[in-house]
């Protein structure tokens, strides 16, 4: 057996069935070994697509996703995807080919310091220098990726190591792996748990912020139990969407920059904030000094480095969200039993009524009939169609980044974990389509719907080729406003409407592009057609693209960056005015054609002034 | 009420870390500091009583709150076994310094030898026009010696940077509580 086969054996031992990748010189031995293996390999059209697909696979399934790229450019193309997984604590293994060990350090063809490049964007990385280290390294990589706070692990594998003879008898795959420097804390400290329980018992205006950690820890049942047991309203971060059913009476929706009014008000007025598996990013807190000003804060997180990083907390609990919540719940139940106390006090009832009234008076309008289509209407129709087709328990949404993402995050109600996949931490445009591929491979029986902007789609549009060739039935919904909507909104709001390089022209015709790939596609311009086309797409068992022509002026309510959470402002709804210069104009500027150094209008008038006339 | 972790005074910290002696581990650790805008004043690495493990002593100056974050991040590294922000007043600190001093004549030579004795240093090399002195001790002692011999003309200085251990029987506490 050779090293490459040992790698495949090691992957299979971890339960890997699918890998996403792209071959190259430094990976030839590996791809040769794949020839005889049962591993499914999905050939994406770009290594970034492979990394996002592995990430989507991991997010949808909770299992480790695997992606592969060759040395040099293959490795650098993986970088964005790996960094995206790192920012959202998604467990993937990225394997890169490397030049043979004897050439390392010689600036050989397609050599790059992959170890150094990946180091700051992975939980850990390895370079395997001898084939006998393959089994232990792969075991360690998976162990590190999926336990504790999950994250990407990178393995750099020189070509000669892939070719080296390997004896599985001498180097068996170890069942257990000892990592002396790696011992995640799972159980919360009993003293801290007691303090948290006391705080929960005495709070009058408690609120929970559920972050991505709740989804990752598969702790949604515990969260529901905790919230219902003590009548604590719940808001989520973007990454926490799905950790709490958003149709539940205690749900307040998403909190933060694009959060709902009830959620942002609840956090601003609560006297107890229970943050679970969230890291208080600036998109959640806004101005830190006025964040949750009246609250005692309980912070539950498996990563001790997250505690006290962005926000000072009163009761830190390091541990796994599921385990810690279980402990809290059993304590609470015991205390209730012993004291025979009512679950929610009078004060709490008032709080719930207040939030309820906020919710009632802030039901967002979504049933617009406008042409061009308002994005809210699409979100509404999408929810309705999913309901009508009974797909609620088996549909997965992936989003791209920008307004499309935030419209979905703000308006689309998610009720199951791992069904709303979005690049939160890194905000990577181009995530939507390839992650949908990964999600569909992870959950072949689910309907996977990718909601994307036109900009984000074009960042990895080549992956239409992947879904076409494999016939992966992903439904791509383009919120097509021909602008880089989110940037455009910020320029309109914060830069005096000086729209600069946020406008796309007519190119391309997405329907034609999709059809060019052999994918069924339709353009929708009339809001009354949305439902039927969505239905057709969702009922089809083929890839499908819908190009929704939406109103480019539509925006999102938001808290200005660094602002107070209660200060939600409306977008400036303005049509794009930006003109795209044509190449001839650019050429004239480049070549400094004097004829085109047109004299500004003001100085033309000056020419007519008596003094100027005399001078000429 | 301020929610932001307070910015604190800049102060000197001695971080001691027991790490797996793998290739790249130095880069991994140094990277954590630079990413947070921390300048490492000195870093020493050497093998230890445990096979395959090295001890790193890192001296940095900076904001306490950020340093706490760096220590936590260090703790997260798989190759870091134990790490501690040593109490500057409760540890033994040593540094080694080699100084090549310009001594073209007998009188300067004998003077430097005298000074070296006072500082319990050693003459480790000798040539017609220079002496090389080895001084070990706390950094301030080394600084004082360098100042003292500056008038002769210093040709070259090499300092190891600080290395340190906690006083008493205690050893580094494990990264897992
Ligand atoms: C790779 C990458 N480049 C740039 C950005 C900055 N950015 C954030 S949102 C956005 C606009 C996205 O436009 P589009 O994909 O059309 O979506 P829309 O906001 O219009 O829904 C940009 C450029 C980013 N997040 N990711």
Indicate left, alpha or beta for A304 from its phi (over 0: left) and psi (-120 to 50: alpha): alpha
Residue A486 bears catalytic tag: yes
The pLDDT score that the predictor gives to residue A611 is 41
Is the CB–ligand 1 distance for residue A422 below 6 Å?
A: no
- Indicate if the pLDDT at residue A616 is higher than 70: no
Q: Which of A210, A268, A273, A217 is nearest to A236 (CA)?
A: A210
The pLDDT score that the predictor gives to residue A615 is 40
The pLDDT score that the predictor gives to residue A599 is 47
The alpha carbon of residue B96 is apart from the nearest alpha carbon of chain A, in Å, by 30
Task: For residue A305, list chain B residues with Cβ-Cβ distance below 8 A.
Answer: 69, 72-73, 75-76
- Residues A402-424 have a mean pLDDT of 97
Interchain pair A124, B20: CB under 8 A: no
- Residue pair A278/A240 in contact (Cβ under 8 Å)? The answer is yes
Helix axes A190-202, A321-339, angle to 10 degrees: 60
Testing the interface with B: which of A180, A184, A308 to mutate, by most B Cβ within 10 A? A180
- CA of A428 from ligand 1 middle (Å) equals 8
Among A109, A353, A512, A585, the active-site one is A109
Q: Which residue has the tokens 């999102």?
A: A556
Q: How far apart are the first and last CA of chain B?
A: 31
Express each pLDDT in A500-525 by its tens digit.
Answer: 999 999 999 999 999 999 999 999 99
Residue A30 bears catalytic tag: no
Q: What percent of chain B has pLDDT over 70?
A: 92
Parallel, antiparallel, or unpaired for β B154-159 and B91-102? antiparallel
Q: How many CB atoms lie within 10 A of CB A306?
A: 24
**Which residue among A379, A404, A424, A484 has the greatest number of ligand 1 atoms within 8 angstroms of its CB, and so is best to mutate?**
A484
A186 CB burial (10 A radius; 0-12, 13-18, 19+): middle
Interchain pair A120, B23: CB under 8 A: no
Measure CB to CB from residue A181 to each of B1, B73, B79 and give the nearest one: B79
The pLDDT score that the predictor gives to residue A343 is 56
Q: What percent of chain A has pLDDT over 90?
A: 92
Express each pLDDT in A532-578 by its tens digit.
Answer: 999 999 999 999 999 999 999 999 999 999 999 999 999 999 889 99
Q: Name A273's Cβ contacts closer than 8 Å, sequence gap at least 6.
A: A206, A207, A208, A209, A267, A292, A295, A296, A297, A298
Express each pLDDT in A450-470 by its tens digit.
Answer: 999 999 999 999 999 999 999
Q: From the CA of A429, give the closest atom in ligand 1.
A: 26
- Indicate if the pLDDT at residue A339 is higher than 70: yes
Measure CB to CB from residue A288 to each of B3, B31, B80 and give the nearest one: B3
Separation between Cα atoms, residue A180 and residue A459, nearest integer Å: 41
Is the CB–ligand 1 distance for residue A432 below 6 Å?
A: no
Express each pLDDT in A220-275 by its tens digit.
Answer: 999 999 999 999 999 999 999 999 999 999 999 999 999 999 999 999 999 999 99
The pLDDT score that the predictor gives to residue A509 is 98
Interchain pair A120, B35: CB under 8 A: yes
Among A254, A406, A486, A558, the active-site one is A486
Testing the interface with B: which of A181, A280, A282, A292 to mutate, by most B Cβ within 10 A? A181
Interchain pair B78, A311: CB under 8 A: no
The pLDDT score that the predictor gives to residue A605 is 45
Is the CB–ligand 1 distance for residue A486 below 6 Å?
A: yes
pLDDT band at A153 (very low <50, low <70, confident <90, very high): very high
Express each pLDDT in B7-51 by its tens digit.
Answer: 556 788 999 999 999 988 999 999 998 888 888 999 999 999 999
Is the CB–ligand 1 distance for residue A429 below 6 Å?
A: yes
Interchain pair B24, A127: CB under 8 A: yes
pLDDT band at A608 (very low <50, low <70, confident <90, very high): very low
Residue A110 bears catalytic tag: yes
Interchain pair B81, A181: CB under 8 A: yes
Judged by DSSP in three states, A521 sits in strand
Is the CB–ligand 1 distance for residue A404 below 6 Å?
A: yes
Q: How many CB atoms lie within 10 A of CB B89?
A: 6
Separation between Cα atoms, residue B140 and residue B138, nearest integer Å: 6
Q: What are phi and psi of B46, to 5 degrees?
A: -165, 165
Per the omega criterion (within 30 degrees of 0), is the bond before A268 cis? no
- Indicate if the pLDDT at residue A79 is higher than 60: yes
The pLDDT score that the predictor gives to residue A604 is 43
- Indicate if the pLDDT at residue A612 is higher than 60: no
The alpha carbon of residue B4 is apart from the nearest alpha carbon of chain A, in Å, by 5
The pLDDT score that the predictor gives to residue B44 is 94
The pLDDT score that the predictor gives to residue A607 is 42
Average pLDDT, chain A: 94
Measure CB to CB from residue A119 to each of B2, B27, B176 and give the nearest one: B27
Q: Which residues pair with A97 in a beta bridge?
A: A157
Here the tokens at position A395 are: 């549909």
- Residue pair A297/A192 in contact (Cβ under 8 Å)? The answer is no
Interchain pair B3, A290: CB under 8 A: yes
Q: How many CB atoms lie within 10 A of CB A69?
A: 32
Separation between Cα atoms, residue A77 and residue A85, nearest integer Å: 14
Q: Which of A356, A575, A542, A462 is nearest to A77 (CA)?
A: A462
Judged by DSSP in three states, A310 sits in coil
Interchain pair A183, B176: CB under 8 A: yes
Where are the strands (E) in A145-295, listed by range?
153-158, 206-210, 234-236, 251-254, 272-276
Per the omega criterion (within 30 degrees of 0), is the bond before A508 cis? yes
The pLDDT score that the predictor gives to residue B177 is 38
Among A5, A9, A20, A47, the active-site one is A47
Separation between Cα atoms, residue A295 and residue A246, nearest integer Å: 24
ipTM: 0.87
Residue A257 bears catalytic tag: no
Separation between Cα atoms, residue B170 and residue A262, nearest integer Å: 52
Q: What is the dihedral of CA A275, A317, A150, B72, to 10 degrees?
A: 110
The alpha carbon of residue A546 is apart from the nearest alpha carbon of chain B, in Å, by 43
Is the CB–ligand 1 distance for residue A455 below 6 Å?
A: yes
Q: Name B110's Cβ contacts closer than 8 Å, sequence gap at least 6.
A: none
Express each pLDDT in B65-93 by its tens digit.
Answer: 888 888 999 999 999 999 999 998 899 99
The pLDDT score that the predictor gives to residue A601 is 52
Is the CB–ligand 1 distance for residue A487 below 6 Å?
A: yes
Separation between Cα atoms, residue A227 and residue A414, nearest integer Å: 17
Shortest-distance Cα residue to atom 4 of ligand 1:
A429
Q: Name A207's Cβ contacts closer than 8 Å, sequence gap at least 6.
A: A232, A233, A234, A235, A252, A266, A267, A270, A272, A273, A274
The pLDDT score that the predictor gives to residue A345 is 59
Q: How many residues does chain A have?
A: 616
Q: How many CB atoms lie within 10 A of CB B171?
A: 11
- Report pTM: 0.93
- Indicate if the pLDDT at residue B63 is higher than 90: no
């Amino acid at each position: 057996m050779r090293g490459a086969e040992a790698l495949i054996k090691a992957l299979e031992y971890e339960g890997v069935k699918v890998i996403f990748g792209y071959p190259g010189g430094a990976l030839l031995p590996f791809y040769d070994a794949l020839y005889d293996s049962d591993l499914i390999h999905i050939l994406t059209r770009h290594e970034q697509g492979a990394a996002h697909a592995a990430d989507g696979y991991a997010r949808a399934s909770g299992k480790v996703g695997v992606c592969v790229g060759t040395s040099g450019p293959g490795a650098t193309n993986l970088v964005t995807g790996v960094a995206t997984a790192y920012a959202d604590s998604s467990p993937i293994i990225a394997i890169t080919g490397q030049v043979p060990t004897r050439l390392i350090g010689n600036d050989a063809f397609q050599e790059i310091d992959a170890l150094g490049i990946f180091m700051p964007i992975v939980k850990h990385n390895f370079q395997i220098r001898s084939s006998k280290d393959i089994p232990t390294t792969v075991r360690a990589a998976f162990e590190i990726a999926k336990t504790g706070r999950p994250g990407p692990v990178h393995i750099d594998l020189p070509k000669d190591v892939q070719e080296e003879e390997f004896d599985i008898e001498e180097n068996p795959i170890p069942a257990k792996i000892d990592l002396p420097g790696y011992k995640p804390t799972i159980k919360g400290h009993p003293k801290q748990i007691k303090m948290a329980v006391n705080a929960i018992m005495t709070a009058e205006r408690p609120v929970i912020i559920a972050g991505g950690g709740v989804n990752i820890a598969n702790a949604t049942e515990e969260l529901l139990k905790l919230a219902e047991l003590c009548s604590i309203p719940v808001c989520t971060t973007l990454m926490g969407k799905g950790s709490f059913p958003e149709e539940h009476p205690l749900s307040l929706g998403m909190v933060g920059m694009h959060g709902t009014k009830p959620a942002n008000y609840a956090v601003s007025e609560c006297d107890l904030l229970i943050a679970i598996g969230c890291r208080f990013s600036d998109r959640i807190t806004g101005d830190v000094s006025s964040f949750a000003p009246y609250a005692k804060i309980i912070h539950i997180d498996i990563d001790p480095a997250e505690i006290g990083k962005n926000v000072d907390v009163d009761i830190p609990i390091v541990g796994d969200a599921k385990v810690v919540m279980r402990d809290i719940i059993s304590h609470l139940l015991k205390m209730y039993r012993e004291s025979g106390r009512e679950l929610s006090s009078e004060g709490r009832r008032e709080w719930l009524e207040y939030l309820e009234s906020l919710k009632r008076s802030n039901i967002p309008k979504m049933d617009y009939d406008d042409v061009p289509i308002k994005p809210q209407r699409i979100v509404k129709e999408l929810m309705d169609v999913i309901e009508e087709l009974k797909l609620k328990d088996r549909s997965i949404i992936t989003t791209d980044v920008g307004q499309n993402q935030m419209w979905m995050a703000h308006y689309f109600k998610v009720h199951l974990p791992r069904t709303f996949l979005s690049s939160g931490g890194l905000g990577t445009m181009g995530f939507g389509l390839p992650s949908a591929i990964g999600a569909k491979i992870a959950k072949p029986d689910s309907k996977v719907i990718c909601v994307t902007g036109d900009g984000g789609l074009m960042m990895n549009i080549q992956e239409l080729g992947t879904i076409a060739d494999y016939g992966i039935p992903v439904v791509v919904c383009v919120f097509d406003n021909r602008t880089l909507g989110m940037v455009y909104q910020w320029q309109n709001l914060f830069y005096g409407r000086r729209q600069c390089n946020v406008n796309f022209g007519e190119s391309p015709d997405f329907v034609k592009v999709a059809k060019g790939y052999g994918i069924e596609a339709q353009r929708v311009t009339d809001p009354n057609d949305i439902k039927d086309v969505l239905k057709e797409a969702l009922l089809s068992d083929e890839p499908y693209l819908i190009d929704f022509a939406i109103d480019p002026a539509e925006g999102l309510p938001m808290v200005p960056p660094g602002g107070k959470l209660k200060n939600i402002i409306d977008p400036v709804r303005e049509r794009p005015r930006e003109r795209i210069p044509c190449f001839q104009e650019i050429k004239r500027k480049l070549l400094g054609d004097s004829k085109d150094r047109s004299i500004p209008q003001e100085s033309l008038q000056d020419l007519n002034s008596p003094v100027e006339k005399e001078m000429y | 009420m301020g929610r932001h972790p307070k910015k604190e005074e800049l102060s000197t910290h001695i971080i001691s870390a027991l790490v797996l002696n793998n290739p790249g581990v130095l880069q991994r650790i140094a990277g954590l500091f630079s990413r947070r805008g921390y300048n490492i004043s000195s870093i020493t690495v050497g093998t230890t009583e445990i096979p395959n493990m090295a001890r790193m002593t890192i001296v940095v100056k900076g904001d306490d709150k950020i340093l706490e974050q760096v220590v936590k991040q260090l703790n997260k590294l798989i190759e870091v076994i134990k790490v501690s922000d040593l109490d500057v007043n409760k540890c033994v600190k040593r540094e080694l310094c080699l100084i090549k001093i310009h001594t073209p004549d007998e009188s300067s030579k004998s003077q430097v030898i005298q000074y070296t004795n006072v500082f319990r240093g050693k003459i480790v090399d000798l040539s017609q026009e220079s002496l090389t002195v080895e001084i070990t001790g706390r950094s301030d002692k080394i600084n004082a010696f360098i100042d003292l011999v500056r008038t002769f003309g210093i040709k070259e200085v090499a300092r190891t940077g600080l290395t340190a251990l906690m006083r008493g029987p205690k050893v580094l506490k494990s990264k897992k509580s």
